[in-house]
Chains A and B, each alone.
Chain A
Amino acid sequence: MAALKRKGRQTKWGHKHLLGLRELSREEITYILDTAEGFEQISTRSVKKAPPLRGKVVVNLFFEDSTRTRNSFALAANRLSADIIEFTKKSSSVSKGETLLDTARNLEAMGIDIVVIRHEAGGVPKFLSRNIKACVVNAGDGYCEHPTQGLLDVYTIRKIKGSLDGLKIGIVGDIAHSRVARSDMWAMTKLGAEVILVGPPTLMPGEVGRLPVQVSYSLDEVIEQVDVINMLRIQFERLGGNPFPSIREYSHYFGLTVERMKKAKSDILVMHPGPINRGLEMESEVADGSNSVILEQVTNGLAVRMAVLFLVNQAAAMKV
């Protein structure tokens, strides 16, 4: 395995947690991607398993609905021979009763090694990492970060385009409430791409001008320029109030339609973090079309998550 062959060299990864991509360097992100490349072929073998996490316990601590991320982490842990506990609970943002920390400390008392956490509140992985000894991997925290999604997105782009340097990438939709947009933005810009955030002003986050990106309210203008377009899912559960007048109007301005695709570069990559609202963010024909790499993203997610679990565990072992 490429990842293991690198042992002789100086390790470029020393974090026992993966909390977000904002705090990582280009070199660290690249190191994860390189490690993931080495893990990719495990999934193509007849025996889809390798031993690096044998005897380790990974807990999937999910306080928010998720199917693909949770399953992807579970499968990644399985392929690395870890034992996995599934813990799913609707989060209760109350200050009395059993707290998040109580839950985590109880799990820790059972002897877990890695906590994969998803929570509706931004900062929860960081908060946990300060308070428990196990490795913490962020599987999405509020609208702060979703680092493994960001990693699999840049992994997918890098695999097809060779490099992100100089690429123009559009991220379209509800930027304000999107952890995917944030993790993508950090990873993509660190790897040398130019990012344009696209959406209505009501779905742009505060002081967006201070982020290392451009902002556009016109998908029509952006679609002509970009090498990659990432269409975010409209998350109705997070939208407060009435940020756009109707779904029809939103789709009219910000949906990726067959018509709009005609103006795009012929080799544009169309991405979506899933699950797709067909006909809303993009028309089915685009989602299933030849430029779409949506299913490749899912496949690559597995290798990326294997790499992340492997690396945080390795860093924890070195720190003992």
Chain B
Amino acid sequence: MGSGLLIRGGRVIDPANGVDRECDVLVIDGKVSQVGEIASSAEGAAERVIDARGKIVAPGLIDIHVHFREPGDEEEETIASGSGAAVAAGFTSVVCMPNTKPAIENETDVEFIHRKGRQTRKTHVYTMGAVTKGREGVELAEMGFMADAGALGFTDDGRGVQDPAVMLRALKYAGMFDVVIAQHCQDDSIGGKGVMNAGYYSTILGLPGIDPLAEEAMLWRDIQLVKKTNVRYHAQHISTSGSVGLIRQAKKDSLPITCEVTPHHLLLTEECCTEYDTNYKVNPPLRRAEDVEALKEAIAEGLVDALATDHAPHLQSEKELEFLAAPFGIASLECALGLYVKALLEPGIVDWPGLIRLMTSGPAGVIGIDKGTLGVGGQADITIIDAGAEYQIDAGTFRSKSRNCPYHGWAVKGRVEKTIVGGEVRFEL
């Protein structure tokens, strides 16, 4: 092809390579060819020169936890609409969760997701496979075949693997393939029928609660299983201060354990449910202000490996239900960066390199892909960010098919200007 792209004068932040300085990035043949001061004589090789002065030039953002609902619930989202939303939000790679209908549980399913992603030509679309057949928590799914087909890990997300013996078996077996087992930590025997955090607010609202213990009991159990098997384990969307304590100890013990945090667990609390607005119904539920603080502290301490949206689109007609009956989930993919800026950057918990690491090399490390950096020779997935740009979140303009976004109307800073995937500009403002 020989198409070249020269990105001039941006603040290049590449945390994995310790880069944070004003310079240029040259992309040739879809790969990063040079990062540094590039002579104007090189401009000839570039088909297009992008003026990035005053902007941040970062590795393409990665979200390792999205629900694109295909196959099964295409009315809510498709891989095309979801990755269209993702690319507009600066993401160049996403990992779909396997709780589709049917679940992603064999190599054909994995290939289907990949094919749809390729055809859409927006972001790289990856998927995790189910740990157990039908996500029923009983028999192991064909993890080997799925891993060979490119599945980047396994989870029964939406539900935790309840039976400790099954979880132990899954970890042992996965050890053969060097993949990560990700867990939605929630012990259903404690939190099974709950729809919000258990505590004062569930008491006065008369709604069944999900005790923080439901998450912590399973996470504690899994940590014991990881000690035994030493297989990579990823705790998805941790939400309680107790979980932070468990992760802190596990990392101190050098266990192969990673974790992620969502924007809503950093920005919203259980108190948001007071009006029974189902856009605040999410699983794990919104917790107390103390938990939000603990999660922020964990990020400040470097205990959190990745930020992940858990983008969970639902139809308005489904969310316009009784709080008890409405489905769990928040659609936040399209405003993710602005939310993280508000939650973490503005209060000074992280700086820009810190934030970008949590959205690039951090998540890439969790799933074990060679992405999330601007290393020379790597695929040119690049996101250009206008850090100062303030805008108002308008769910009505989302490219996602769903509007279940509690942040509608919020003013946030940090806007994605261009998203480059494999050297191609796939989104520009």
Contact = CB atoms under 8 A, between A and B. Distances in A.
A206 interface: yes
A240 interface: yes
A127 B203 contact: no
B417 interface: no
B321 to A, nearest CB: 6
Contact of B205 (A99, A120, A123, A130): A123
B355 interface: no
Interface string B6-27: 0000000000000000000000
Contacts of A121: 322-325
A233 interface: no
| Interface-central residue, A122, A145, A208, A211, by most chain B CB under 10 Å | A122
A272 interface: no
A119 B322 contact: yes
Nearest to B317: A99
Contact of B203 (A93, A130, A208): A208
B169 interface: no
A44 interface: no
Interface stretch (B59-67, B206-214, B296-304, B389-397): B206-214
Contacts of A207: 199-200, 203
Contacts of B321: 95, 99-101
B177 interface: no
Nearest to B278: A127
A126 interface: yes
A127 B323 contact: yes
B324 to A, nearest CB: 4
A156 B275 CA distance: 31
Contacts of B202: 205-206
A182 to B, nearest CB: 6
B206 A179 contact: yes
B207 A93 contact: no
Contact of A144 (B207, B325, B326, B327): B207
Nearest to B207: A122
Interface string A219-246: 0000000000000000000001000000
B276 interface: yes
Contacts of A99: 317, 320-321
A127 B199 contact: no
- The B interface, classified by DSSP as helix, strand, loop or mixed, is loop
Contact of A210 (B198, B200, B207, B322): B200
Interface in A65-119: 93-95, 99-101, 119
Contacts of A127: 276, 322-323
A101 B276 CA distance: 14
Given A100-B322, A121-B324, A142-B324, A206 B199 contact: yes
A99 B211 CA distance: 29
A123 B323 contact: yes
Nearest to A96: B318
B275 A126 contact: yes
Using C-beta atoms within 8 Å of the partner chain, give the interface range for chain A. 20 to 34
B200 A141 contact: no
A27 to B, nearest CB: 21
A247 B146 CA distance: 52
Nearest to A238: B208
Contact of A123 (B199, B322, B327): B322
B85 to A, nearest CB: 22
B429 interface: no
Contacts of B324: 93, 120-123, 142
B193 interface: yes
B176 interface: no
A174 to B, nearest CB: 13
B203 A211 contact: yes
A143 interface: yes
B230 to A, nearest CB: 36
B205 A122 contact: yes
B204 interface: yes
B206 A145 contact: yes
A22 interface: yes
Interface in A132-157: 141-145
| Interface-central residue, A95, A101, A144, A182, by most chain B CB under 10 Å | A95
Contacts of B322: 93, 100, 119, 121, 123-124, 127
Given A93-B322, A142-B324, A207-B199, A123 B193 contact: no
Interface in B269-288: 275-276
Contact of A101 (B199, B203, B206, B320): B320
Interface in A276-296: none
A207 B209 CA distance: 11
A45 B209 CA distance: 48
Nearest to A176: B203
A235 B390 CA distance: 53
Contacts of B200: 206-207, 210-211
Nearest to B273: A123
B279 to A, nearest CB: 12
A202 to B, nearest CB: 13
Nearest to B189: A241
A143 B195 CA distance: 13
A206 B205 CA distance: 11
B318 A95 contact: yes
Given A95-B318, A99-B317, A126-B276, A144 B205 contact: yes
A119 B323 CA distance: 12
24 contacts: A93-B324, A93-B325, A95-B318, A95-B321, A120-B324, A121-B324, A121-B325, A122-B205, A123-B205, A123-B206, A123-B207, A123-B322, A123-B323, A124-B322, A126-B275, A142-B207, A143-B206, A144-B204, A144-B205, A182-B204, A205-B203, A206-B209, A207-B199, A211-B203
In the A-B complex, the 6 residue pairs with the closest CB atoms: A144-B206, A122-B206, A123-B276, A121-B324, A121-B322, A205-B203
Interface of A: 22, 93-95, 99-101, 119-124, 126-127, 130-131, 141-145, 179, 182, 205-208, 210-211, 240
